[in-house]
Amino acid sequence: DPKIIQKPKYLVAVTGSEKILICEQYLGHNAMYWYRQSAKKPLEFMFSYSYQKLMDNQTASSRFQPQSSKKNHLDLQITALKPDDSATYFCASSQDSSGAETLYFGSGTRLTVL
């Protein structure tokens, strides 16, 4: 059974709309993350959360807003969607946010913005 659940697996949106990407982890981890994989680019770190608090934000745009309603949830709200936002968005988790821990990834949400 997958331990990090991302929903939906595929998402198509129109330019200017808003979407929420869902992530839940059942590994008992205290740190959660979002990464983005765009075509022809390496995976890029976006956010890290520890105990539901934002630890690091490498996303320049405020259109990307993480939301953590529970320790094992870290959703990603994206507003005013643009075609350049098209990518696969991966949620990940680790035991803590020290960096000295193995990172586990969900299966990703592939977002296409038309």
Partner 1 sequence: GDQVEQSPSALSLHEGTGSALRCNFTTTMRAVQWFQQNSRGSLINLFYLASGTKENGRLKSTFNSKESYSTLHIRDAQLEDSGTYFCAADEGGSAKLIFGEGTKLTVSS
Q: Which is nearer to partner 1, 15 or 58 (CB)?
A: 58
Q: Which is nearer to partner 1, 52 or 79 (CB)?
A: 52
CA distances (Å), origin 31, targets 39, 59, 83, 92: 27, 18, 30, 8
Does residue 99 touch partner 1 according to CB under 8 A? yes
Minimum distance, C-beta of residue 16 to partner 1, in the bound complex (Å): 27
Does residue 48 touch partner 1 according to CB under 8 A? yes
Q: Which is nearer to partner 1, 60 or 99 (CB)?
A: 99
Minimum distance, C-beta of residue 54 to partner 1, in the bound complex (Å): 12
109-113 and 10-13 beta bridge pairing: parallel
List 5, 7, 38, 43, residue binding partner 1 (CB under 8 A): 43
**How far apart are alpha carbons 61 and 82 in whole angstroms?**
12
Does residue 97 touch partner 1 according to CB under 8 A? yes
How many other CB atoms sit within 10 Å of the CB of residue 17?
Answer: 12
Half-sphere exposure for 70 (CA within 13 Å, toward CB): 9
List 5, 45, 63, 86, residue binding partner 1 (CB under 8 A): 45
Does residue 72 touch partner 1 according to CB under 8 A? no
Annotate 94-109 with DSSP letters as a single string: ES-SSS-S--EE---E
